[in-house]
A and B are shown apart, each in its own frame.
Chain A
Amino acid sequence: MILFGLVGGGGLGSELIVHSLPSVMAKHPEVAPEDIRVVYVDSALQRKTFLGMDVLSEEEFLAAPATTRYFNIAIGNGRIREEVAKRLEPSGAKPISLMHETTDIRVGSSVGDGAIFTSRTTVTANSAIGRYFLCQGFSYVAHDCVVGDFVSFAGRVCCNGNVHIGNHVTVGTGALLRQGTEDKPLQVGDGATIGMGAVVTKDVPAGATVVGNPARPLSSSREKKA
């Protein structure tokens, strides 16, 4: 029995459960679907089942009988995904990426462990994506980009070519990142947050929050209003 645990029974978790069985089956074509058990892992969810799946605590998930134990983390916040991964990986559970059938990862690109790609997402040519990347519907990463670990894209993010994104960056729905060049890629620093609909035309410093068109740091746009 292969056990797959989807950590997080919230909105994202309910969207992703349909990706789970196909993703495990793609990795294990030799295993019959009835020998794969898919469960939710969420201690806060005060119920025994969710969307027809059993709900287990992390301890129950790690103790349940399984020949191979896989997981992924349906949580939008990259820092929380990192905490969960740091708990589960040393316990022998392995991350497995969830990819929708329409996702297109093209030649020369690489994606780290534990990624989530929902429908119509694309990584084009020669981009390197870190661990536990969350890439939601219609978002793309174009050519020659570098994306760090535990990065989260909401839906419809357009990350154009030659953009370098640090770790723990969050990008809101429909945000646009301007194309950089090989010599001078557009840089988004560690822990930065890009607001929904923002049009990012310049480098974003580590830890900054930028919003608007063109994107500006949130603090300075507040000062302007004051």
Chain B
Amino acid sequence: MKTLFGLFGTGGLGREVMPWAPAALQNHYSELADGNFDSVFLENNPATNIVNGCSSLSVSDFVTHSVARKLFHVCIGEGIARLDVAERLFSQGHEPAHLIHPTVELRHNISLGKGAYIGEWSTLTTDIEAGDYMQCSSMVLIAPGCRIGAGVTLSPRVCCGPFTHIEDRVEIGTSAMILGGTKDNPLTIGRDAVIGMGAVITKPVPAGAVVVGNPGKIIRVKEPAST
């Protein structure tokens, strides 16, 4: 074994993903196609050594592990926490891995940042730019011309219409829909905004706004985050 893959987080998403993560790595990385790598959960303080039949290591044991190549992926729903853990592991010399389910359809001209997550049955169409550690859950549809910032979380069944610009660390709830804009006038969802589950967004959303309902209404605006 020359490669170790660490999946950070056993809170929920991590346990959902581990059953298919090795197949996704084999599918996406030609050098891993032979399956000659181990997959483990990573936690700050593992309560047990085994989670759902898979070993769980502490982050410190992973960092000091002697294997030649270490890949990681962070499964945390909350964008700021996910970026924090991922950037720490990256700065320690570990390699962020994409986890892209084998049923995902990626059409053309798609640029992914570091460590993208894309769940089953999602479709990314054309001319899409995604930032680092985007978490795009299952059955998501992203129309052409969308830009997605770093640490953005798209829950299952989100639909982003064409030319939607989603800034850093935005969280979009299950099955929310965004109308989209045009090439000259994209619809922007401002940094750190939160879109509630099932919301229907037809207008731009300012930074930090929390929007729910159909049509989407702002129910509050968060204090700007420090970073």
| B-binding residues in A (CB < 8 A) | 104, 106-108, 120, 122, 124-126, 138, 140, 142-144, 156, 158, 160-162, 174, 176, 178-179, 197, 199, 201, 213-214
Q: Annotate B11-29 by CB proximity to A: 1 below 8 A, 0 otherwise.
A: 0110110110000000000
A104 and B52 contact, Cβ closer than 8 Å, known pairs A143-B12, A158-B175, A176-B175: no
Contact A176–B16 (Cβ < 8 Å): no
Q: How many residues of B contact A (CB 8 A)?
A: 22
Complexed CA–CA distance, A197 and B214 (Å) = 11
Given contacts A140-B156, A199-B196, 6 further A-B contacts (CB under 8 A): A107-B52, A126-B15, A126-B52, A144-B12, A178-B197, A201-B197
| A-binding residues in B (CB < 8 A) | 12-13, 15-16, 18-19, 52-53, 120-121, 138-139, 156-157, 174-175, 196-198, 212-214
Complexed CA–CA distance, A49 and B65 (Å) = 65
A176 and B174 contact, Cβ closer than 8 Å, known pairs A108-B52, A125-B52, A144-B12: yes
The 11 sampled A-B contact pairs (Cβ below 8 Å) are A107-B52, A107-B53, A108-B15, A122-B120, A125-B12, A125-B16, A126-B15, A144-B12, A158-B156, A162-B12, A174-B175
For A122, the chain B residues whose CB sits under 8 A away are: 120, 138
For B157, the chain A residues whose CB sits under 8 A away are: 156, 158
Complexed CA–CA distance, A104 and B16 (Å) = 11
Count of inter-chain pairs, beta carbons less than 8 A: 61
List the 7 closest pairs (A to B, CB-CB), nearest first: A125-B15, A124-B16, A199-B198, A143-B12, A161-B12, A108-B52, A106-B19
For A160, the chain B residues whose CB sits under 8 A away are: 156, 174
For B156, the chain A residues whose CB sits under 8 A away are: 140, 158, 160
For B19, the chain A residues whose CB sits under 8 A away are: 106-107, 125
For B139, the chain A residues whose CB sits under 8 A away are: 120, 138
For B197, the chain A residues whose CB sits under 8 A away are: 158, 176, 178, 199, 201
